[in-house]
Amino acid sequence: MAKATFGKRVFAVALAGVLSVSFTACSGSGDGQAGDAKINIEPYSKMQFNTEKVQSGDIQSSLTLDLKPDGYSSKDYSIQQSDYKIEEVKVKEGDKVAKGDVMIQFQATEIKKTIEQYTEQKEQDLLLIDHYTRLAEIDSSVDYSGDISAAKEDMDVADTYIKEQNERMKDYQVIATKAGTVTYIDSDIQYGYVTAGQTLITVDSGSSDYVAETNDNYEFKEGEVYEADFQEATFSLKLIKCEKYKSKATGEEMQKVTFQPVSDMAGITEADTLKMVIEKPVVKNVIYVNKKAVFDGSDEKKYAYVVDEDGNRSAVEVTVGDTVDDKTIVKSGLKAGEQVVVN
């Protein structure tokens, strides 16, 4: 018994000592040394949440698409020589060019002279062939076949030289490698000389069809005609293809739509982007929240945090429908007017 009593006394004394130290530290002593320590208790404040009200009513929305030419590309043309002198710029900004068109011709006097020389020879040979052919028709007793053959051989030789010089001439030309529209010409070329590596001309290319991609689930209908704007002009385009796929980068369900112009697209280049705004059907009489209010739980269910009048939040399971723009339709779990946390 004495051992048990001793134990209780030891505990009581120890507790008294702790309380004494605690009170001494709080109340201080007469010499002002041991009482300097203070405990500061911050007033309690509730956690603040960014909330929005659950809404009810109709949802009116639209889908905006940026249409670009299918297969759009842009190519800058330059040369590596700095001693070339410009003879002629054959295009201007806004011009359409075909593959193989010469856009800039540089001076190549000797090559040009050789081409002209053999071109003249061909013309003379043609005259000779015509001359001997007529003589043979007048007098069949004379054989002019050898003369005609010789003239044709001369023409073949001239053709060979002309082709050779034309290949050499390509080194003195800026030639379009793809059909498109000239969207830029360096203003410095008006002075006749260029710098090696300097962009002289830019040509934008693409097919006549326009494409756009969207993660919206709008139901496009092939064959329907839609309208798109560029600056102050409006153009009609027919939907010819709608392809659905899953993005490898985000995993989102995507749609790629291809439109074919119905209107005359004069004045539009491959670099121009058309804007198409599609008014979507009105979703009537639904309950909806900001899409950022709904989150996935670990059980693969959907939840939202509801905040009560006292500022306390609680997670509730929700069943949702489509998301229209940034609004998610709620089928169950929330009531209009409730406050929900928006992440």
337 found inside a domain: yes
216 found inside a domain: yes
In the DSSP assignment, the letter for residue 311 is S
Name the nearest CA neighbour of 195 among 27, 294, 94, 82: 82
- Tell me the DSSP string of 187-255: GGGGGSB--TT---EEEEE--S-EEEEE-------TT-EEEEEETTEEEEEEEEEEEEEE-TTT--EEE
Q: Are 105 and 88 in contact (CB under 8 A)?
A: yes
Q: Are residues 68 and 211 in the same domain?
A: yes
162 found inside a domain: yes
300 found inside a domain: yes
Q: Are residues 87 and 182 in the same domain?
A: yes
Side-chain half-sphere exposure of 312, counting CA atoms within 13 A: 2
Residues linked to residue 134 through DSSP beta bridges, in sequence order: none
Q: Are residues 275 and 289 in the same domain?
A: no
166 found inside a domain: yes
> Of 231, 247, 279, which marks where a domain is finished?
279
| Angle, alpha carbons 339-340-343 (nearest 5°) | 145
Q: Are residues 23 and 139 in the same domain?
A: no
Q: Burial, 125: exposed, middle or buried (Cβ in 10 Å; 0-12, 13-18, 19+)?
A: buried
Determine the 3-state secondary structure of 133 from DSSP: helix
Q: Are residues 333 and 291 in the same domain?
A: yes
Q: Are residues 4 and 92 in the same domain?
A: no
Per-residue pLDDT of the chain (343 residues; tens, 9 = 90+): 343 333 333 333 333 444 444 434 444 444 545 555 566 666 655 677 899 999 999 998 899 999 999 888 889 999 988 889 999 999 999 898 999 999 999 999 999 999 999 999 999 999 999 999 999 899 888 898 999 999 999 999 999 999 999 999 999 999 999 888 899 999 888 888 788 899 999 998 888 899 999 998 889 999 999 999 999 899 999 999 999 999 999 999 999 999 999 988 877 888 889 999 999 889 999 999 999 999 999 888 999 999 998 889 999 999 999 888 889 999 999 999 999 999 8
Given this model, what pLDDT does residue 94 score? 86
Q: Are residues 165 and 244 in the same domain?
A: no
Q: Are residues 186 and 223 in the same domain?
A: no
Q: Are residues 160 and 226 in the same domain?
A: no
Neighbours of 146 (CB within 10 A): 9
Domain count, the chain: 4
46 found inside a domain: no
Q: Are residues 210 and 239 in the same domain?
A: yes
> Of 150, 170, 204, which marks where a domain is finished?
204
Residue 107's CATH number: 2.40.50.100
Q: Burial, 259: exposed, middle or buried (Cβ in 10 Å; 0-12, 13-18, 19+)?
A: buried
Q: Are residues 256 and 169 in the same domain?
A: no
158 found inside a domain: yes
137 found inside a domain: yes
Q: Are residues 221 and 190 in the same domain?
A: no
Phi, psi of 330 (to 5 degrees): -105, 125
Q: Which residue do the tokens 């198409």 mark?
A: 276
Whole domain around residue 287: which residue ranges? 51-60+283-341
